[in-house]
Chain A
Amino acid sequence: MQSEWQFIVLFVVIAPLLAVAPILINWLLGPKKPNPIKQQTYECGVETVGDAWVQFKVQYYIYALVFVIFDIEAVFLFPIAAAYGQLGLFAIGATVVFIVLLADGLLYAWGRGVLEWI
């Protein structure tokens, strides 16, 4: 049905407006007197040292990689789960093998010590 998605499309257009409206009202009502001291980056009262855009810890990246395994798994599992009523035992068995193969990825990452926070 096209009308179900019509709702979502209209919503995607309207939803940001709900958020932009309060910012605009704030911009209209609030004072506008910027000065350099006021605009300093907050760093517990001391003067800001350097830039905030630094290199980040690789650990975060590795967790994101492990997440990708499961995200892809989910994309495949959702249709299977939704069609569950029409699937036979053989298809469920195949799904189980699929999940076990992906769980193997998690075990591999675990065994390699990737999941340790250093």
Chain B
Amino acid sequence: MKRIRSLFYEFFRFLDNLSFFTSVVAVFGVVFLTIIHLDLYGQYRNFMKDIQSYGQEFSATITSFSDDYVFLKVNNHPEAGESYFSRTKYYYSSTLAMLEEGESIIIVAVPNKYRLEVREPGEALIQPYTDQVQRYTGFISQGPWVMWIICLVIVSIHPEVLYFALQVEEKPSKKILRK
């Protein structure tokens, strides 16, 4: 029993030391992965905002598919851009399975005259499935969450690096601590 306890103790001490030595890298990990997650959300939010502000309906034809995009060609609308794309991640896989190359659909996209006002002028929304895009929560469920949590746990065990320069101040007296 004593031996098992000692083994556990050694194991936890090893994990503690490992956290200490990797905490600098983990801090960078949390920062960059947080930026990635916020960027995923920002990308979605900006798209929805731009579509709501400037979006117009056009008829288009699906030209091709890739893992990430559906490529669309607009049918004779002078005010629209020639081609657009739609991100596959916003739609259910069952919906994507129903779409076919050459199929004619209605899209909501930003016309040419507003191209400079928006962040992603070539992105469009496939009209019959707007509700799927509105309900999209992939920016919460997707992304490198596991790595982010591992980094956060490491920093939480040994956060000393975050106080790197904050120790320059005199240590607070017991009186201040009690206030």
Question: Is B truly associated with A?
Answer: no
